[in-house]
Amino acid sequence: MTIYPPRPPEFACILCGTTVPDRWEHASRYPIPPVCNRCSFTWGKGIGGVGDLHRDRRIARVIIALAEALSVEAYQQLRGDRYGRA
């Protein structure tokens, strides 16, 4: 009989605003708060590849995604209303 770990509490991704996790998955595939898996792979650099389940590299990817999103926001604030943003 397999014993599954408890599902982590839901949270809203701070980059895209989606609520995750929306269903049970393997524990190593759960998103690491405060960023969902999709945003961590979109914004984060390719550390370990797409299917990498190593926890330390996933945490590093989340940190890189947060830093990159912050960098983009700072650049947009510096440049003003370019590309349709005020």
Percent of the chain past pLDDT 90, that is, above it, reads 21
Q: How confident is the model at residue 65 (pLDDT cuts 50, 70, 90)?
A: very high
15-32: per-residue pLDDT in tens? Answer: 999 887 766 777 778 888
37-64: per-residue pLDDT in tens? Answer: 889 888 887 777 767 788 888 899 999 9
Say if pTM beats, i.e. exceeds, 0.85. no
Given a contact cutoff of 8 angstroms between Cβ atoms, the answer to whether 40 and 47 are in contact is no
Q: How confident is the model at residue 84 (pLDDT cuts 50, 70, 90)?
A: low
CA–CA separation, 79 and 86 (whole Å): 10
Q: Which of 55, 63, 49, 56 is nearest to 30 (CA)?
A: 55
Structure tokens belonging to residue 66:
């947060």
